[in-house]
Chain A
């Protein structure tokens, strides 16, 4: 008889993947990323086979790290790659060094080194996001493709492009210093921000996948905050908390998108909101506010209102003004227009709307039409509104948002 298996920590394997890969990269160099990832992967397969029959080891993380290291050493031996092990390949010094990089305080630093290497400017921002999902979270190509709504082939290309860039550019596995650090930190923030947004804004049909992306972005951001405690990192973390707190309320039982106005506030994660306020209290001590400050302030203003009717639109409009001076993107402009219309400033809303170009929205073009439709309806221009709503339906790309547009069309028909 074997002992009862205790619950294994949530996401232990995913977290260990990032920890082991970054620690092994620290020893064997980023050039050996591929065999390292293979060894780590095989370790998990070994775990399932061994643990299912023998029960969990007392220290699962220690077991995984030991096995991964041995598998990698085996690989280098078999392939005659003693060079990868340095001159004193199997000497006591090396073994001691290996123990050191696997110690807990070193692991955090190693993960950050890897994160900074991934966020090197030689890699496109999209490749950075994909690469981070692969190396940190061990997402399979299939999982990445499905989370980011891309096809598997383009994910594969993106990964191999990223890997060859690392070799070509001889990207260092280290945290940059001085000015370089500030620059790279911005890249890291943006990558984590995009990772988070993929989870929060993408209308992916699986809530589980969305939550996974959100959790990963928040985990890495927390790690970054722990190390540098930069004001912008705190602001980004606050934004993630405020948005992340609402994820359960954003989809209903039928997997349909619920707009803020109709969300069940009992489903909001209040501890996370409080956490967000803590980060924000610190973030606002900065002399210069980043885009994340304003985005966190906006997200915070929405959830601080006790009801939808009590939302302080003028405050939010002010935040958007600031955000747009930093990031004048079409989507930010559009969001600001929504706020203007909530304030009843229809002339100003229309003026701003008319200078927007629908082509600037890329795959979110439907949003342009959907917001335009609402402006017309509010102005009692039903015909124009319906026309825009139909265009929104034409352009909408995913199922969940399509349902939302269809529902609106239905409401308008019933209303007239």
Chain B
């Protein structure tokens, strides 16, 4: 089994404008997705990231703003999951809850050199 990072890219929920009821329903979808991955025993960890995003461009800490919360380019979080292959890791994203709000998942294999 190899580790893969599922990187969630898309606008922030606040920019989409969801109501409490819609947020709760969405959360239910996240829960059932994670439960499903847990049942398969492939979910390792995950974190969410806050929106203000800065890109540091030199050693004197010069920086530019990263994608805004409204943009569809903002990285909002990631999971680390285990899979036999890239294809299997991609298969996991079927239940990703945010496709309908312009969210996308980037799937990357975690590199291991030995």
With A5-B34, A140-B17 in contact, is A13–B48 under 8 Å at CB? no
Tell me, rounded to whole Å, the shortest Cβ–Cβ distance linking A134 to chain B: 9
Which residues in A have their C-beta under 8 angstroms from that of B30?
48, 52
Q: Chain B 2-46 against A: per-residue CB contact (8 Å), 1 yes, 0 no?
A: 000000000011100111111110111011001100100001011
With A and B bound together, what is the CA distance between A4 and B76 in angstroms? Answer: 23
Give chain B's interface secondary structure class. Answer: helix
Which residues in A have their C-beta under 8 angstroms from that of B38?
1-2, 4
Count A/B pairs, Cβ under 8 Å: 80
Query: Does the CB pair A52–B31 fall under 8 Å?
Result: yes
Which residues in A have their C-beta under 8 angstroms from that of B27?
8, 47-48, 51-52
With A and B bound together, what is the CA distance between A4 and B37 in angstroms? Answer: 11
Instruction: Out of B22, B24, B45, B48, name the residue touching A52 (CB < 8 Å).
Output: B48
Give the size category of B's interface with A. 20 to 34
**Across the two chains, which residue of chain B brings its CB closest to A51?**
B27
Which residues in B have their C-beta under 8 angstroms from that of A8?
24, 27-28, 31
Instruction: Out of A5, A44, A139, A142, name the residue touching B35 (CB < 8 Å).
Output: A5
**Across the two chains, which residue of chain A brings its CB closest to B48?**
A49
Query: Does the CB pair B24–A140 fall under 8 Å?
Result: no
With A and B bound together, what is the CA distance between A51 and B35 in angstroms? Answer: 13
Which residues in A have their C-beta under 8 angstroms from that of B12?
45
Which residues in A have their C-beta under 8 angstroms from that of B31?
5, 8, 51-52
B-contacting residues, A261-316, CB 8 Å: none
Q: Does chain B have a CB within 8 A of A321?
A: no
Query: Does the CB pair B20–A44 fall under 8 Å?
Result: yes
Which residues in A have their C-beta under 8 angstroms from that of B46?
52-53
Query: Does the CB pair A1–B43 fall under 8 Å?
Result: yes
Instruction: Out of A4, A45, A212, name the residue touching B14 (CB < 8 Å).
Output: A45
26 pairs, CB–CB < 8 Å, chain A vs chain B: A2-B34, A2-B43, A4-B35, A5-B31, A5-B35, A8-B24, A11-B21, A11-B24, A13-B20, A13-B23, A14-B20, A44-B24, A45-B13, A45-B23, A47-B27, A48-B26, A48-B30, A49-B76, A49-B77, A52-B27, A52-B31, A52-B48, A53-B46, A138-B21, A140-B19, A143-B22
With A and B bound together, what is the CA distance between A142 and B21 in angstroms? Answer: 13
* Interface residues, chain B, with chain A CB atoms under 8 Å away: 12-14, 17-24, 26-28, 30-31, 34-35, 38, 43, 45-48, 76-77
With A and B bound together, what is the CA distance between A270 and B87 in angstroms? Answer: 51
Q: Does chain B have a CB within 8 A of A109?
A: no
Query: Does the CB pair A16–B77 fall under 8 Å?
Result: no
Query: Does the CB pair A139–B43 fall under 8 Å?
Result: no
With A2-B38, A49-B77 in contact, is A143–B48 under 8 Å at CB? no
Query: Does the CB pair B35–A140 fall under 8 Å?
Result: no
Query: Does the CB pair B28–A41 fall under 8 Å?
Result: no
Query: Does the CB pair B20–A17 fall under 8 Å?
Result: yes
Tell me, rounded to whole Å, the shortest Cβ–Cβ distance linking B52 to chain A: 13
With A and B bound together, what is the CA distance between A88 and B32 in angstroms? Answer: 45
Query: Does the CB pair B23–A44 fall under 8 Å?
Result: yes
Which residues in A have their C-beta under 8 angstroms from that of B77?
49, 53
Query: Does the CB pair B24–A12 fall under 8 Å?
Result: yes
Tell me, rounded to whole Å, the shortest Cβ–Cβ distance linking A410 to chain B: 38
With A13-B23, A45-B23 in contact, is A142–B17 under 8 Å at CB? yes
Query: Does the CB pair B23–A52 fall under 8 Å?
Result: no
Query: Does the CB pair A16–B20 fall under 8 Å?
Result: yes
Tell me, rounded to whole Å, the shortest Cβ–Cβ distance linking A35 to chain B: 14
With A and B bound together, what is the CA distance between A14 and B19 in angstroms? Answer: 8
Q: Does chain B have a CB within 8 A of A42?
A: yes
Which residues in A have their C-beta under 8 angstroms from that of B47?
53
Tell me, rounded to whole Å, the shortest Cβ–Cβ distance linking A80 to chain B: 20
Q: Does chain B have a CB within 8 A of A50?
A: yes
